[in-house]
Amino acid sequence: MKETVIVLDFGGQYNQLIARRVRECGVYCEILPYKVSLERIKEIDPKGIIFTGGPNSVYDESSPHYTPDIFSIGVPILGICYGCQLMAYSLGGTVVSAADNSVSEYGKTETGYSDDCVIFSGLPKSGISWMSHRDYISKVPDGFKVTATTAHCPVAAMADAEKKLYGVQFHPEVNHTEHGKEMLKSFLYDVCGCAGNWKMDSFIEDAVEQIKAQVRDRGVVLGLSGGVDSSVAAALLSKAIGKQLTCVFVDQGLMRKNEGDYVEETFTRLFDMNFIRINCQDEFLSKLKGVTDPEEKRGIIGEEFYNVFWNRIRDEYGSGFFAQGTIYPDRIESGKGDAAKIKTHHNQVEIPKDIKFEGIIEPLKDLFKDEVRAVGEKLGLPRELVWRQPFPGPGLGVRVIGEITAERVKTLQEADAILRDEMDKCGYAEKMSQFFAVLPGVRTVGVMGDARTYDELIAIRAVTTDDFMTADWAKIPYDILGKVSNRIINEVEHVNRVVYDITSKPPGTVEWE
């Protein structure tokens, strides 16, 4: 179907980033755990294989290893960090601990490159690479040449050009490595011989044809949340089958201000589909009455959503196909630990046993989030929907701290809408990865109109991050924060104080609950 490069995951923190970089070069890429069999790899018939980094030491018998036979199947291999050390160790080289010699390297490192190595061909002879290793290769295997060095690392890269085996101790996939993407592209095109046929335009054309062939004259039901993944899935399915698609949108009353109306208007105006909106705020609030524990709230919201959605499906649409907005990271099997399991994710829904669909359609299951956004733009979805920020599954239920009531939800919706309006006006929204308002359930004394008040406090949370594994609090200018605070206090009833959360992750989390 398409040329494929395999990223073999040995527990590296950058495994998905490696795959995304490969795809940015126009080459389709899949991540597989290191426990995948060599027979399975041969069945895929990849154009190349990339070994990821990892936190272990290769000479530790309990660390992830792979059969040395993989180096004899004739497929080009690039080892990164731990993957480079594993290549050296498996083929007879020597890997030692850097701790005894005080030469471990972390962060930006001046590195010298050999210009007779195809990976570095046409690049400067030295530059900054991103290092993160305790161990290092002290002796390369027979047939290999050292192709890069640093002041403390005798083998920053190595190559056996005849066998098309390459290793780099640094991380070319991170932006801190100068010309890292060019290095990966040289491996993909000059070593593996890739043609670069992974394009979003061709993806849409192929997906539409596949959906038509699978669905034929049957119907498809999709649970539409209004988030990026389900929205793009809905647009793609609509392009393929039109009115055969039914989107069911559950509005539980815990969305941002006017969001339910926005989702309905967008999809009924732009796409040819059946759109069903279930308004059930009263039912959700009734179930949540008196509940303050965050995990209990999450459980109730999830269970009620499940029941409301499937009861409607059961009554009217329990046939044909069921579609999900599953994307590739939702189903990646991790290479970490001995019991690697596929992640549980809200995009992968458990279907009640009494509802019998003919099959499941996951049109975005091979795409990363940035690729999903690209597809959404090409399908004509509004930019504000395609590039919207992450929103928790329980909605504002985890941003209203304590008991959830209609009045408290409305207060938070109004404050959050003001925050978003001001961030859009000043152009600061695009500088942040996520920002939102929180209603902590704290009352404070204030003075408004020469009278004492005792009202709610609003907290503002804003972060910048590349991966949401860690995050820094956003340095929003004081004058912008001041304007937001002034508007919230003046325009939102029962609020007399606004505070700004300056906690990074860790020790905090992005959400408050």
- Distance between CA atoms of 7 and 332, rounded to whole angstroms? 11
The domains of the chain are located at: 4-191, 200-386, 399-500
Residues recorded for the chain = 513
Q: Which residues share a beta bridge with 448?
A: 451
Q: Which of 3, 105, 173, 371 is catalytic?
A: 173
Q: Which of 105, 133, 153, 171 is catalytic?
A: 171
Peptide bond into 76 cis (omega under 30): no
Residue 81 is a catalytic residue: yes
What amino acid occupies position 178? E
DSSP 225: -
Peptide bond into 507 cis (omega under 30): yes
Can you give the pTM of this predicted structure? 0.80
Kindly give the pairing relationship between strand 245-251 and strand 220-223.
parallel
What's the CATH code, domain 4-191?
A: 3.40.50.880
What's the CATH code, domain 399-500?
A: 3.30.300.10
DSSP, collapsed to helix, strand or coil, labels residue 84 as helix
- Distance between CA atoms of 292 and 304, rounded to whole angstroms? 17
* CA distance from start to end of the chain: 44
Instruction: Write out the two tokens for 480.
Output: 């912008």
Q: Which of 25, 81, 153, 280 is catalytic?
A: 81
Judge if 4-191 and 399-500 fold alike in CATH terms: no
CATH architecture of 200-386: 3-Layer(aba) Sandwich (3.40)
Residue 182 is a catalytic residue: no
Per-residue pLDDT of the chain (513 residues; tens, 9 = 90+): 479 999 999 998 888 889 999 999 999 999 999 999 999 999 999 999 999 998 889 988 889 999 999 999 999 999 999 999 999 999 999 998 866 555 567 788 999 999 899 999 999 999 999 888 778 899 999 999 999 999 888 999 999 999 999 999 999 998 889 999 999 999 999 999 999 988 888 899 999 999 999 999 999 999 999 899 999 999 999 999 999 999 999 999 999 999 999 999 999 999 989 999 999 999 999 999 999 999 999 999 999 999 999 988 887 765 799 999 999 888 876 565 433 333 334 445 678 888 888 899 999 999 988 899 999 999 999 998 998 888 888 999 999 999 999 999 999 999 999 999 999 999 889 889 999 999 999 999 998 877 888 999 999 999 998 767 678 999 999 999 999 999 999 999 999 999 999 999 988 999 998
Contact 50, 5 (CB under 8 A): yes
